[in-house]
Structure 1
Amino acid sequence: GVPITLKANYFKLETDQNWYQYDVCFSPEVESAVEREGLLDNVKESIGVYVLDGTTMFSINDLGQNEMKLFSTWESDEIQTQISLQFVKKLVVGEACYIQFFNKLMRQEMRYLQLQLVGQNFCDESDKIVVSNHPVEVWPGYLTSVHQLKAGMLMNCLISTKVVRLDTVLDMLTKLKKDHSQRYEELFKQQIEGAVVLTKYDNQTYYVDYVNFDLTPTSTFEYLGGEQISYKDYYQSAYQKTISDDRQPLLVAHAGKGECVCLVPELCRMTGFDPETRANVAVMRELEERALLAPQDMIDRLNAFNKRLLEHQSVRRDLQAWNVRLDDKLIEFQGRVLPWDKILHGPHLGQVAEQSGWMTELGRKPMLVTPTLSTWTVIVPVTYKKDAQDFVTKLIDAAWRMRFDIRQPYFKYVSHQVPSFEEALEEVNLCLKPQMIMCIVPERGINHYTAIKKKCCLDRAVPTQVIVANNLTRKGVQSIATSVAIQMCCKIGGVPWTVEIPISGLMVVGFDVYHDTTPRGGNSYGAFVASLNKTFSQYFSAVSAHTPGQELSNDMASYLGDALCEYKKCNGALPEQIVIYRDGVFRHQIPEVKNREIVALKKCWKDTYGEQECRMAFIVVTKRIRTRLFHNNENPPPGTVADDCITTPEICDFFLVPRSVCQGTVRPTGYGVLFNKTGLDIVMLQKITYKMAHLYFNQRVSIA
């Protein structure tokens, strides 16, 4: 690839100081973190500067290996508390506790900036943006984390925004009571169970499990020392919050470590968007503009935040006391831009050679393989009859430009109701046996979509294309018609385009796990796909149920065995190499992935290939990352790879920018190569990864 100079949203931290870890015990026990720190502050002359994280204390001073006992008194109760400090170890650079200390230290420094901790985000409420004529605020903020990377100890910093609704959960309940007096409890449970709420008194976020209508603010619970106290009195005493509605039910939420907490709707704000806000195009556009930062704006905000830290007197004092130096500029390093690969299309393998505009050009070029769609049906509510007919005309024209022959369909008109769609699907399948069914559904037709897919995937297998009615007349409908034509071509066996991968006998595998996090759901499912041909357009697929919340798979290896059998049927031979992309794995799960999934996959290879040397790679994919890359204060071009400085020393990993974006700062995708016996070097694996990003036929763009 071509060398490129990059910056990333990391600031370097340096120190040559020794630090020590101690276990801290308070007697009598002290639950409040503020009170624990206050007690330690009283004996600071004896222990020196410290950072407290739960029951772990980090200090710059070696206090000896014998247990140290000190006594301190909290200002409000005058009760003497014994503090016991037990030496644990001297910290080693790069170990987990060393990084834990750095993270705690930097989060402690954030407090001096008068930022509000909202969930995991530090937000600047003083700089909040009020959205015009709508009960929503945007709080700008920062996400920080410290990591030991190849360039040393680096602090990652991401500019974030938190959308905060001003209405409370009680406001929602009151409105439901007014509008649906007979069934408001049922509707309230539907809307709030599984939602995330933000408490007004300490800005913590909670995931609501269920509503308990038997509990109210006047209900009591056992407080410290066994005393019974009402929720109303507790919130008044602890947070000076007066509750006005004594009849509201309580929300039950997880509070960590298997514990539950009861929340008062009046003291909880809703998060996310309600249907009314989502439907308001002007408001959503304004929120999007606030949230999406251009690269230059992101860099300016990062540098301003860094300057704000370094210029604060208390931060400078603390960092000097700990002998820590925070760099004042973003880290800069060398990356590479992978060469642009031609997109192959049409029966004679025509090439789209230009990287810019290849998506548009493909809409005017013949597709690689195009079957004929001769018998198909459009099921549409009669109110959309004219719009549907006009759209089908545009669809047929768009398909013809790509040499995809779509004949005129049979139109079946129905009402808006889900049962009407189900009856029509049954009738059409029985009488016409179409190659494909297109269903045009009303806006927000999630129930329609579910019913259609169930009917046509489980009851009677037939490809379907579902379109929301408002897309029939949207601006840019011709582009929509082109995209729909490509999807329909794929669903009946066509191949729109491919890329050239000069490795014979390559199978590419993908695996991910979906978790239904709603209280009513709770199920987890693993999905497995494996390519079966050299154009990577035909796939073997399998799905399995997991234990709820379980990310690791017991079935991946058996599915690979089935996929290898299918590959041999299609090609007359087994694949020579296998590259597996595994999504959804967190860093702390990597050892278990190696010990379980990779070991099982290697056994599958041996069972299938015998003594033939294993030629397989296993790559973990991470999309939800906080790393951002910049080149000349702009987004780096597609194909940019970063595999030094900001990558981890333990594994072979890299970041790839797979696409360009029209707005905001592009987010790279992270890849960690946990196992590689293919004989392919890291650069070739990077190239294969970039090529695969161009083979998602639902969109004429490269994807993450």
Structure 2
Amino acid sequence: KNKGIMTGRGRSRGQAGQQQQGQTQSRTGGGRGRAQQTPLSPQQQQGSQQSFVPAPAPTVSAWGRPAPQSAAAPPPAQSAWGRPGPQSAAAPPPAQSAWGRPAAQQTSAPVVQVGLPAFRGSGESRARGRPIAQQPAGPSQAGPSQAGPSQAGPSQAEPSSPARAQPSQRERGNGAPADRGAIRGRAVISDIIRTKPEGMLTKIGNVGAPVPLKTNYFRLLKKPNWQIYQYRVDFSPNIVLEGLRNRLIFEQKATLGGYLFDGTMLFLTVKLRDEVTQFMSKDKEENPIQTTIKFVGLVSMMTASSVQILNLILRRSMGKLNLQMVGRNFFDSAAKITLNQYKLQLWPGYLTSIRQHETDILLCAEVTTKVMRTETIHDIMVDCHKNERNFQTAFTEIVVGMTVLTEFNKKTYKISEVDYSKNPRSTFMGKNGEISFADYYLQKHKLRIKDMNQPLLASKSSNRKIRGGEPEIIMLIPELCSATGLTQKMRNDGKLMAALANHTRLAPKVRIEKYIAFNQRLQTTKESVENFNEWNFKLDTNFVNVSGRVLPNETILFGKGKSVLTNQEADWSREFRNITMYVAQDCNRWVLIAPNTSSYQAPIIKDFLSVLQQASRGMNYRIGDPQIINLTEDNGSSYARALDQAASKDPQLIMAILPNNNSDRYSIIKKKLCDDRAIPSQVMCIKTITPKPGRDKSSLLTVGTKVAIQINCKLGGAPWMVQVPVSKLMVVGYDVCHDTKDKSRSYGALVATMDMRVAQNYFSAVTHHSNGEEMSNNLALNMQKAVRTYAAQHKYLPERIFFYRDGVGEGQTNYVFQHEIQQVRNALDKVYEGQPYKFIFIVVSKRINTRFFKGDANPSPGTVVDDIVTMPERYDFFLVAQSVRQGTVSPTSYNILFDGSTLTPGQLQQFTYKMTHLYYNWSGTLAVPSVCQYAHKLAYLVGNYIHRSPSAYLEKKLYFL
């Protein structure tokens, strides 16, 4: 019933896991074999067949009408929600080389991948890339060989043999001509996971003023209207080389007719005579290869499974546009922009996905940019060797976790380790005997390695890819690898980032023009048109238009009954200098640690303190004079001793001023004060508090205002509030960040409010985990801590819990839906012991490709879209909460996985928008609810600087701002 396309191990693709965007590569095979028709004996036929087992199919609250706006300080019982709409239902070391001794291994953290109604390649033979010879693996990395005529005993990782080193899952495509038949697909269809509540009548809200919007979607006007025959292709011995797989299938084109091949699954327009078709071929070394094509079933173009085929067709046409496949996506290398002063190249490209939306099958097309660095990993290594005292440590820290590009095959790899015990002279066992890495690249690619002492880079394959025949470790030569992406040092370079922004932050009108040009290119390039016509595939040339709604502007509440209605940019910065903060916690006892001050720095610090106190007085908030500790040395140990001295004075807060933005010094301060001493801290760089040339200290008033707000928040205060519609409410945010020192660990941070109508403090907890199950367990335990802290403070449990879950990849949604939510609810049930409570769980996604436009401009903050481009199986909506001054605004997707709130869609949308106003580091709206950003800040602080859980004594304060 088309409930899942079979994978190589008898599992549905839903079980194999997938990603949101169905993207496949347009191309033919490379390979070295030529098919030779050879009859098979019955024993051969019987031995080659495999069994395939299909996978199993996977009280209304008083929200009230809008209340008149008031300057009264307390929030009203009923806020401006609008008229309620239909309700939703509940739901070891070697001899030292020239480059040093071996470094310690580092292991990448595992990533949970689960199924969703999205697209990914088959479980056994995903990511087949170019011939393995291009990325040889060392002898110790190879797994057992596949049984075959020319193979005996354990494999020694011969580059051109099956089951050898090859690209990672994300990096497929050999750049072969796309018009010779087969294409490499990554799209699969699984059972669609329905998360929309069964009893839900509508998910369209009714709050806000209608607004017409353009999208970056195009309708599919025509698609194949015939049935497609799906076949499973197996090779014996197993072939990991993608090019050889494709070549073997292509040479049977006379028999197969028109076809699509994704490396494992074959789709034909005409059914073959036999259920199982087999033929024999030989590779370049005259080794026999048996190919078995087994009928799986029909794929009706009227079912959801057809979307996989549509993505294959689209990506075949994209392969005909003279685009370069890098990683997952297509990029236009001919249109690259070179920034010579920064050794960078910017390659424009496209992200595409065809999916079934509410009423139509739509193509989402987004423009993107790939940042390519002109320096190789060897260049980086030489630089570290020249400039770093501990070369190995510095180089390893830079490259581990980095994604690199191998120029000879345009594939990307994520580096998991630097192997200082190996170099290009090291050997591995090939089919013709032992060969060195250097000789291999010279013979195979005519590439002569210059530095024979450089260590090798290791890229670890995922467990799924290892099961599919990939080696556990792929070895790479730094000299042949180009760095991609930006380093943290680059990100801290304001001039570099500004130069990038000029080319990557496209204005709405420019972005729209690029969408149109891409559509026209697809529909006017001869080869692309021929492909579309062959498959009866046609795209609309016009954008999909939708009707959105702009939610009412929010009222920001300050102290002493003052309030202000937000403007069209949802920004209230100008209102802040002459108001009283909503809840003020005066800072009377605090210590300032000043650096080894020179004659010019001392006046700077003195002037800043004056401005800081002036700004606080303007907000009716008192910051007293600090006790000052002057350092005599500028190093980490001096700061550590000064912190201990400061802590002995029992301060409310410790401020440390740094001479520069050295991260090690910052880490020492945060570790000491977030864990050992449990004292809120404020760290400033001297550059931040120094007026620009020609300006006096009054120009620092904006900086002083922001620092005063931060200090107040870290002591338990709140600078502003919004009207909260109900009491006895808890709002929770959760996010995850990887540990930068231990790649096997990540930190999950939970931040929860404590009933914003009667208290403005927060609860936070952060714990480390090594896998998804451990993360879910920790999340459930921290959720219990949060509600118990709430009950201890208020003497009652929260009646409503809004849970905003960030950091969920598309491939993880199914796990969250089927396991994580239930663990959280079970944990809550133990606390509530039968008492009723209303719980809603919402997945928040920022990195999406959807864009909206109001004419040729950005939509206003508060714009909601809940129809046409949303998903029919989901209770979801898009919200543009923030405004941007440069580029195109990105909406945020909200996917409600569990709803026991009894709120209408409009009320939930409006409440979510309210929560984007409460991030106290910014007097404006954010793209996500404030609790999500707080959770992100906490997880980032711990994962990057502290590397352990902070003291529980700080859990009720926003010390991580």
When normalised by structure 2's length, the TM-score is 0.69
| C-alpha spacing 1:63/1:161, structure 2 compared with 1 (3 Å) | same
Moved more, 281-290 or 686-695: 281-290
Instruction: Find 1:351's aligned residue among 526, 550, 564.
Output: 564
Instruction: Find 1:687's aligned residue among 899, 904, 910.
Output: 910
Give 1:445 deviation, angstroms.
2.1
- Describe the SS at the equivalent of 2:319: helix
| C-alpha spacing 1:398/1:6, structure 2 compared with 1 (3 Å) | same
- Between the aligned partners of 1:304 and 1:490, the Cα distance in structure 2 is 49
- Between the aligned partners of 1:64 and 1:473, the Cα distance in structure 2 is 80
- Contact 1:376–1:410 (CA<8 Å) still a contact in 2? yes
Give 1:275 deviation, angstroms.
6.8
* 1:121-141 Cα distance to aligned partner (Å, 9 max, x none): 321111111114332111111
Instruction: Find 2:411's aligned residue among 196, 204, 211.
Output: 204
Equivalent position of 1:51 in the other structure: 260
Equivalent position of 1:576 in the other structure: 799
Instruction: Find 1:424's aligned residue among 636, 642, 646.
Output: 642
Instruction: Find 1:615's aligned residue among 809, 834, 838.
Output: 838
* 1:585-636 Cα distance to aligned partner (Å, 9 max, x none): 2333333323322223333443344444441111111122122211112111
* 1:401-430 Cα distance to aligned partner (Å, 9 max, x none): 111111222222213211111111111111
- Between the aligned partners of 1:682 and 1:65, the Cα distance in structure 2 is 53
Identity of aligned residues (%): 37
- Between the aligned partners of 2:850 and 2:897, the Cα distance in structure 1 is 20
- Describe the SS at the equivalent of 2:341: coil
Structure 1 residues not aligned, in runs of 5+:
none
- Contact 1:515–1:548 (CA<8 Å) still a contact in 2? no
Give 1:341 deviation, angstroms.
1.2
Instruction: Find 1:144's aligned residue among 352, 371, 389.
Output: 352
Equivalent position of 1:566 in the other structure: 789
* 1:497-534 Cα distance to aligned partner (Å, 9 max, x none): 00002222221112223222x57442122222221122
Give 1:228 deviation, angstroms.
2.9
- Between the aligned partners of 1:94 and 1:380, the Cα distance in structure 2 is 70
Q: Which has the higher contact order (CA 8 A, sep 6+)?
A: 2
- Between the aligned partners of 2:290 and 2:767, the Cα distance in structure 1 is 54
Task: Give the residue type in structure 2 aligned to 1:525.
Answer: Y
| C-alpha spacing 1:240/1:659, structure 2 compared with 1 (3 Å) | same
Equivalent position of 1:673 in the other structure: 896
Give 1:73 deviation, angstroms.
7.0
| C-alpha spacing 1:681/1:494, structure 2 compared with 1 (3 Å) | same
- Describe the SS at the equivalent of 1:555: helix
Two-structure CA RMSD over aligned residues (Å): 2.4
- Contact 2:344–2:373 (CA<8 Å) still a contact in 1? yes
1:107 to 2:315 alignment: yes
- Contact 2:458–2:473 (CA<8 Å) still a contact in 1? yes
- Between the aligned partners of 1:92 and 1:458, the Cα distance in structure 2 is 60
- Between the aligned partners of 1:285 and 1:78, the Cα distance in structure 2 is 57
Moved more, 315-324 or 591-600: 591-600
Give 1:472 deviation, angstroms.
1.0
- Describe the SS at the equivalent of 2:415: strand
When normalised by structure 1's length, the TM-score is 0.94
| C-alpha spacing 1:94/1:503, structure 2 compared with 1 (3 Å) | farther
- Contact 2:555–2:563 (CA<8 Å) still a contact in 1? no
Give 1:548 deviation, angstroms.
4.5
- Between the aligned partners of 2:843 and 2:302, the Cα distance in structure 1 is 22
Give 1:304 deviation, angstroms.
0.5
Q: How does 1:251-400 map to 2 (within 5 A)?
A: 251-256=457-462, 257-258=465-466, 259-274=472-487, 277-278=490-491, 281-356=494-569, 357-381=571-595, 382-383=597-598, 384-400=601-617
Instruction: Find 1:228's aligned residue among 413, 434, 448.
Output: 434
Equivalent position of 1:542 in the other structure: 765
* 1:250-289 Cα distance to aligned partner (Å, 9 max, x none): 1111244242111011101122335775565433321121
Q: How does 1:553-702 map to 2 (within 5 A)?
A: 553-702=776-925
- Between the aligned partners of 2:611 and 2:573, the Cα distance in structure 1 is 19
Instruction: Find 2:683's aligned residue among 463, 466, 485.
Output: 466
Moved more, 313-322 or 38-47: 38-47
1:187 to 2:394 alignment: yes
- Contact 2:554–2:722 (CA<8 Å) still a contact in 1? yes
Equivalent position of 2:380 in the other structure: 172
| C-alpha spacing 1:78/1:364, structure 2 compared with 1 (3 Å) | farther
- Between the aligned partners of 1:203 and 1:402, the Cα distance in structure 2 is 57
- Contact 1:94–1:148 (CA<8 Å) still a contact in 2? no
1:403 to 2:620 alignment: yes
Give 1:189 deviation, angstroms.
2.3
Task: Give the residue type in structure 2 aligned to 1:468.
Answer: C
Instruction: Find 1:244's aligned residue among 450, 462, 465.
Output: 450
- Contact 2:358–2:872 (CA<8 Å) still a contact in 1? yes
Moved more, 108-117 or 543-552: 543-552
- Contact 2:215–2:545 (CA<8 Å) still a contact in 1? yes
- Between the aligned partners of 1:605 and 1:36, the Cα distance in structure 2 is 52
- Describe the SS at the equivalent of 2:541: coil
- Contact 2:349–2:367 (CA<8 Å) still a contact in 1? yes
* Structure holding more strand per residue: 1
- Between the aligned partners of 2:555 and 2:845, the Cα distance in structure 1 is 26
- Contact 2:229–2:298 (CA<8 Å) still a contact in 1? yes
- Describe the SS at the equivalent of 1:172: helix
- Describe the SS at the equivalent of 1:217: coil
- Contact 2:562–2:579 (CA<8 Å) still a contact in 1? no
- Contact 1:385–1:413 (CA<8 Å) still a contact in 2? no
- Describe the SS at the equivalent of 1:215: coil
- Between the aligned partners of 1:81 and 1:167, the Cα distance in structure 2 is 41
Task: Give the residue type in structure 2 aligned to 1:125.
Answer: S
1:134 to 2:368 alignment: no
| C-alpha spacing 1:596/1:435, structure 2 compared with 1 (3 Å) | same
- Contact 1:506–1:575 (CA<8 Å) still a contact in 2? yes
- Between the aligned partners of 1:670 and 1:242, the Cα distance in structure 2 is 49
Instruction: Find 1:83's aligned residue among 269, 291, 295.
Output: 291
* 1:409-454 Cα distance to aligned partner (Å, 9 max, x none): 2222213211111111111111x22111111123232112211111
Task: Give the residue type in structure 2 aligned to 1:67.
Answer: V
- Between the aligned partners of 2:774 and 2:814, the Cα distance in structure 1 is 13
Task: Give the residue type in structure 2 aligned to 1:366.
Answer: T
Equivalent position of 1:449 in the other structure: 666
| C-alpha spacing 1:491/1:179, structure 2 compared with 1 (3 Å) | closer
Equivalent position of 1:530 in the other structure: 752
- Contact 1:130–1:136 (CA<8 Å) still a contact in 2? yes
Give 1:208 deviation, angstroms.
1.3
- Describe the SS at the equivalent of 2:776: coil
- Contact 1:510–1:582 (CA<8 Å) still a contact in 2? yes
| C-alpha spacing 1:691/1:71, structure 2 compared with 1 (3 Å) | same
| C-alpha spacing 1:162/1:594, structure 2 compared with 1 (3 Å) | closer
- Contact 1:513–1:551 (CA<8 Å) still a contact in 2? no
